[in-house]
Structure 1
Amino acid sequence: MSEWDKKRGLMHRYDLTAHIYDMQYAEEQTAKIEAALDGLKMEKHSLVLDAGCGTGLLFGYVADKAKTTVGLDISRKILLQAKKRAENFQNIHLILADADNMPLKENIFSHVFGITLIQNMPNPAKTLNEIRRVAKEYAAIVISGMKKAFTLEEFEELLRDASYNIVALKDEGLKCYVAVCTKLYH
């Protein structure tokens, strides 16, 4: 099966479940978000990207702290759910796009989140490289990886191979690993 066939299947699955996603996963997603934000600094001039934003659960945590938040997802119907959540804020913009081919400039975001994203992608390394491309030099990059998809060693290796420096890694009480990273330069 090609990468695009897998992505179409993923898009279809999220389109079908968008209306019940929060009922099924909000508690789990909120725990990941809170773990990711614990100790993470964000200033009023911050530009935030939520790659694979889903229903926009992150928005309520970052929109008031950041200048601009961009939510990007491949599923149109799940973005419609995110749009409802974004209506409460003036600084949230939504983009229907593939996280492997983001229509965004290089080195622009001070904070990039990929929560519950990479295990859904056909080529997680490609996704991590694209996230790295749009992140500023000293950006905080938050990536989660489901424990059922990766061992801790596999997750750490995937991040290191994509030239990420792991600053903090959290997994206690979570179904995933949550890594706060920066870019590595060679």
Structure 2
Amino acid sequence: MVRKNRLPKFPEDYLNDKAEEYDSSKWMERNQKRSTLYSLQYLIDEKLNDREDSGIEMSASSLILDLGCGSGFSSVILIENGFRVIGIDILEDMLSKAREKKRNFDDYKDLELILADINYLPIKPNSVYHILSISSYNFITYGMENFGEKVKLINDTAKYLHKILKNKGRIIIEFYPKDDKELKMFNKSFINNG
């Protein structure tokens, strides 16, 4: 589904006081957590495959990446659902909010935070069970004008995300493409590279 409203400006809407505003927004927290809960349903959807026979671990030791974790709203839901979480974000201001939560709450002991670009992850191949990204994946081509370069970056990223997944792991991405062309471009990157 293509988003009709204005997308946030990246990175301007997530820096300095805007990071505080984002983290303090009850609406944003509620929206991010609800989206995460909906997305988690795809990890256990029997129509996709039988989880018992899938060969993928679904226990408290399951490691999941939260790409574009921001201030940690999605990470909270993942932890509450028994996952060990690696939260990754490119913006230090947003990660600092997640670090504050980790320091202040014992529930965050299963959360590791890494400052990194989604396109260039410091994660070993075949090391994570699942990957989740809520409302951040559309920013991976930020600042790129050349269509060919965008397509290459999107394909390279999709290929690497597939590479770091364990066998039968899943990638769940919720994002807001600006139009149908962009949606098809992102979809095709995963179809062709994973």
Q: Tell me the TM-score normalised to structure 2 length.
A: 0.69
- State the distance in 1 between where 2:59 and 2:180 align: 32
Deviation at 1:155, TM superposition (A): 4.7
Q: Report what 2:169 is aligned to.
A: 139
Question: What are the within-5 Å matches in structure 2 for residues 76-87 of structure 1?
Answer: 76-87=92-103
Deviation at 1:90, TM superposition (A): 1.1
- State the distance in 2 between where 1:127 and 1:10 align: 19
Alignment deviations for residues 134-174 of structure 1 (CA, whole Å, 9 cap, x no partner): 211111211122153446655533321232xxxxxxxxxxx
CA contact (8 A) 1:70 1:95 kept: yes
- State the distance in 2 between where 1:126 and 1:13 align: 27
- State the distance in 2 between where 1:140 and 1:104 align: 16
- State the distance in 1 between where 2:121 and 2:136 align: 14
Q: Report what 2:39 is aligned to.
A: 36
CA contact (8 A) 1:99 1:130 kept: no
Q: Report what 2:127 is aligned to.
A: 108
Q: Report what 2:188 is aligned to.
A: 157
Amino acid of the residue matched to residue 128 of structure 2? Answer: F
Q: RMSD in angstroms over aligned alpha carbons?
A: 2.4
1:93 pairs, out of 96, 99, 112, with: 112
Q: Once superposed, which parts of structure 1, at least 4 consecutive aligned residues long, lie more than 4 Å away?
A: 149-155
CA contact (8 A) 1:118 1:127 kept: no
Q: Report what 2:51 is aligned to.
A: none
CA 1:154–1:31 in 2, change beyond 3 Å: closer, same or farther? farther
Structure showing greater relative contact order (alpha-carbon pairs closer than 8 Å, 6 or more residues apart):
2
- State the distance in 2 between where 1:114 and 1:98 align: 13
The gaps in structure 2 that reach 5 residues or longer are 1-8, 45-57, 142-152
Question: What are the within-5 Å matches in structure 2 for residues 11-30 of structure 1?
Answer: 11=11, 13-16=13-16, 17-22=18-23, 23=25, 25-30=28-33
Question: What are the within-5 Å matches in structure 2 for residues 159-178 of structure 1?
Answer: 159-163=190-194
1:69 aligns with 2:98: no
Q: Report what 1:52 is aligned to.
A: 68
Q: Secondary structure at the match of 2:71?
A: coil
Identity of aligned residues (%): 25
Q: Tell me the TM-score normalised to structure 1 length.
A: 0.71
CA 1:21–1:34 in 2, change beyond 3 Å: closer, same or farther? same
* Number of residue equivalences: 155
Q: Judge which range, 153-162 or 89-98, deviates more.
A: 153-162
- State the distance in 2 between where 1:149 and 1:31 align: 24
CA contact (8 A) 1:18 1:77 kept: yes
Alignment deviations for residues 13-49 of structure 1 (CA, whole Å, 9 cap, x no partner): 4224211113163233223212101253431120111
Amino acid of the residue matched to residue 85 of structure 2? Answer: T
Q: Which has the larger radius of gyration?
A: 2
Q: Secondary structure at the match of 2:87?
A: strand
CA contact (8 A) 2:42 2:172 kept: no
- State the distance in 1 between where 2:113 and 2:134 align: 16
